[in-house]
Amino acid sequence: MTDPAQPADAHAVARRLAVLPEPQMRVATLCEVLLTCEPEAAAWLLDALATAGRAGGPPYDVSLLAAIELAGSDRLPYEDRRAIFEAAERHGLESCKELLFSTETSEIDELAAAPRPLTPGTRPLTLGERKSLARSWKRDVLERLLVDPHADVVALLLRNPRLTEDDVLRLATARRASAAVLELVLHNRRWNCRRRVRRALLRNPQLPEAAALRLVGLLNRVELRELGRDHKLPPRVLAAIHRRLASLQ
């Protein structure tokens, strides 16, 4: 059995994740591996997976996606997450810190759940009615729901096969969108691979910095160069972009 205090073999872990058929299986397995390690060993492992994954190529490309999804979920208990982050700080493991960096998120605003009309002057619809309409095939209904502030409505919209990339860009660029809505777009596998969507999310000031840092790990060289010149981005996010670019030289 591997000594939990020693760094795990990152390549072996990456290969183990790569052969698993489902993304959720990879996330669960990576979480299990991290929880068997001491914080220092877990920090080194995450940093290695992130650094190698951002350089591209199998099997690390798959392990990076698993690490990003795990970091953005609540699978990793808070105390373990904090211990790994503190170990990464002690050892200067920037890639690991960027994965685990978190900010406080507010609860869903009660106002978002309040009844609201689909069009001005019509009867206000309950949250349940709006969620039902989010499954609609009518384009005019879907377009009006794109401005709905409730994350449950947006989650259903993102699963609607009639939604287009332009629709998702409206969500990603909306300056009044909540952090919860933007993170739904970020974690949606159908849309988070679209370059225009990723760029729009990073440029939206409402996207939590923790989510932005994880998104940097998915950018390709062209996107990194373009966004690296955007000085409106938060300093921590710009620094992460420049570190990735330097690693690709």
pLDDT digits (tens, 9 = 90+) for 199-247: 999 999 999 888 888 888 888 889 999 999 999 998 989 998 998 888 7
pLDDT tens digits, one per residue of 155-214: 999 999 999 999 999 999 998 888 889 989 998 889 988 999 999 999 999 998 888 888
Q: What is the DSSP letter of 134?
A: T
183 or 56: which leads in pLDDT: 183
Angle at 84 between CA 79 and CA 86, to 5 degrees: 95
Burial class of residue 193, CB neighbours in 10 A (0-12, 13-18, 19+): exposed
pTM score above 0.85: no
Per-domain residue ranges for the chain? 10-100, 110-248
pLDDT tens digits, one per residue of 88-121: 999 999 888 888 876 444 445 667 888 999 988 8
**pLDDT score, position 87:** 93
User: Tell me, what amino acid is at 32?
Assistant: E
Is residue 117 within a helix (H) or strand (E), and if so which, with residue range? Answer: strand 116-117
pLDDT level of residue 26 (50, 70, 90 thresholds): very high
**Nearest-angstrom CA–CA distance, 41 and 45:** 6
**Nearest-angstrom CA–CA distance, 182 and 154:** 9
- Sorted by sequence, the CB contacts under 8 Å of residue 201 that are 6+ apart come out as 172, 182, 185, 186, 207, 211, 212, 215
Instruction: Please choose, from the candidates 141, 161, 149, the residue with its C-alpha nearest in 3D space to the C-alpha of residue 116.
Output: 149
Alpha helices in 159-234, H assignment, sequence order = 165-173, 179-186, 195-203, 209-216, 221-228
What's the mean pLDDT when you consider all of the chain? 86
**pLDDT score, position 105:** 42
